Structure 1
């Protein structure tokens, strides 16, 4: 028997950024909804965000909500029923009246090296000549690369995923460090181009961004029918991991200018999380781990963040904020 959605409107509208990756992710969510409710019509509405329009390095933009604020506004103002986000792009605090109503099964969370020679990502970075260029737009990845290979030249690497992959193929950089999930999603959706040669980095040391590899579905909390529709699509394991990692980031007030990472892994009723916090030049790089019950996912994330703060993280954040205050204002 086909389940009924309880949704009374003519069509369910998903708001999404307009990049190929974002639309692929929206189609993944739409496919999950159709599989559960085959009679429900679904429309995808594209939104241009401030992050799409601003080509400055993330650290110079303020970094919070660059790819989510305008998409979220479509839901808040009633033009869409849900917003489909890359969970790592979401701000710690959502708009009043909105919440994450679904976290689907998570994709690969690790970073990968694109380009270079060797087996693992570590081997490829290790095999680069001093002064070789590594492309990334992430302060976290920049710090991790500088910690591992301070003799490499880490360069700013903005653009959508297709653009960045093309830059590697064209030799604009020797290698790039990117998220595995986005590349895998594009190649899993009938991409005609052959998958790029990827080499994974061990996430136990190369700690991913909080919620990397996860999608988050945001809706208004006063829309009970929408909330209930997506309840069946939530993956409890992914939800617990994302909850822990977002709590970690929120406690550290992490934006794009703060090199931090958190990776929570659920096994049964147990959760283990690794945390990372560094100065942009990796002169100070802090790591810690914590374990506990899945039911305490949020509090474990906060506790892990506080452990890093107590071991020098306060000084790291003070240094980052002081540097932000001395930077010239954008034109």
Structure 2
């Protein structure tokens, strides 16, 4: 029986069970091995100030490299662009809903603003990327560092610790949480760029385990895998890990071309660039264009969620 290494959060377990299900459908039985990472233990760390690459993945990778597990399951956005030498490159199994969502307490909602949060409201996030965009586009808001798993952060909002929080839509989709009575807004991903690889579940095996890699490769979605590969290539050019203020979104365009949007915080402004064309060299062109990219002043970053999570 295969052993799947995973973090122990509700979301990590939901993702690991999804891979367990996909493997079962392919005729491979598997069990879960729960691993604690530094990111899970040190909840007092502020992610924007602790940019250690692999904060949520190193120990899970190590379980595979040391032979305690056959494969590791990760949220791809948590993975550094350079992987553990004894492990394979990440294999993307599936991606859903790459965009961020804004959850707002009913009494803190205002319409007709860049973000539908009351003036001088308190918004919970520990992500450098989200903080950078909030600071650039709603400088009146107070950014409140908030850690913990997804249900914990939602509960802090329900308890009134903050007026709003920003989360990845994919996590809410996979957990199917009851968000009543919160208001849920989609943050437009073409402007409010997600983290590279956000919404994607990735797996790793031992480097030499070609047989398991072939099984997992047959479960992978090739278009989604190419999209997140482009996003992570752009991230690699920034020489940053998953906790730097950098966003990217790749989409298949017409006639086989790709569109890659990238964004980065530069001197307090959120600067963006869009590159269109063939895949080869696209990530480099998109990143290099940031030097002369636009500093956007959007009129609206959101739309009301009109379909189920």
TM-score (norm. length: structure 2): 0.87
Partner in structure 1 of residue 292 of structure 2: 311
Give distance in 2, aligned partners of 1:21 and 1:251.
29
Partner in structure 2 of residue 67 of structure 1: 56
Give distance in 1, aligned partners of 2:200 and 2:222.
12
Give distance in 2, aligned partners of 1:73 and 1:246.
22
**8 Å Cα contact 1:101-1:227 kept in structure 2:** no
Q: Determine if the alignment matches structure 1 residue 43 to structure 2 residue 31.
A: yes
Give distance in 1, aligned partners of 2:206 and 2:277.
31
Q: 1:206 aligns with which of 184, 187, 192?
A: 192
Partner in structure 2 of residue 223 of structure 1: 209
**8 Å Cα contact 2:8-2:34 kept in structure 1:** yes
Q: Determine if the alignment matches structure 1 residue 33 to structure 2 residue 23.
A: yes
Give distance in 2, aligned partners of 1:257 and 1:230.
27
Helix, strand or coil: the match of 1:205? coil
**Structure 1 stretches lacking a partner, 5+ long:** 1-10, 314-331
Q: Determine if the alignment matches structure 1 residue 173 to structure 2 residue 162.
A: yes
Q: Determine if the alignment matches structure 1 residue 293 to structure 2 residue 282.
A: no
Q: Determine if the alignment matches structure 1 residue 272 to structure 2 residue 259.
A: yes
**8 Å Cα contact 1:113-1:124 kept in structure 2:** no
**8 Å Cα contact 1:112-1:179 kept in structure 2:** yes
Q: CA deviation at 1:61?
A: 2.1
Q: CA deviation at 1:266?
A: 1.9
Summarize the Cα distance change of 1:122–1:147 in structure 2 as closer, same or farther, 3 Å threshold.
Answer: farther
Give distance in 1, aligned partners of 2:80 and 2:8.
19
Give distance in 1, aligned partners of 2:79 and 2:283.
16
Q: CA deviation at 1:293?
A: 2.5
Q: Determine if the alignment matches structure 1 residue 84 to structure 2 residue 73.
A: yes
User: How much is the aligned-residue C-alpha RMSD, in angstroms?
Assistant: 2.3
Helix, strand or coil: the match of 2:88? strand
Partner in structure 2 of residue 318 of structure 1: none
Partner in structure 1 of residue 305 of structure 2: none
Matches within 5 A, 1:227-246: 227-246=213-232
Helix, strand or coil: the match of 2:192? coil
Give distance in 2, aligned partners of 1:97 and 1:73.
8
**8 Å Cα contact 2:261-2:272 kept in structure 1:** yes
Q: CA deviation at 1:63?
A: 3.2
TM-score (norm. length: structure 1): 0.82
Matches within 5 A, 1:177-188: 177-187=166-176
Helix, strand or coil: the match of 2:219? coil
Count of equivalent residues: 290
Partner in structure 2 of residue 284 of structure 1: 269
Summarize the Cα distance change of 1:125–1:45 in structure 2 as closer, same or farther, 3 Å threshold.
Answer: farther
Q: CA deviation at 1:115?
A: 1.5
Q: 1:163 aligns with which of 149, 152, 165?
A: 152
Partner in structure 1 of residue 248 of structure 2: 262
Give distance in 2, aligned partners of 1:174 and 1:62.
27
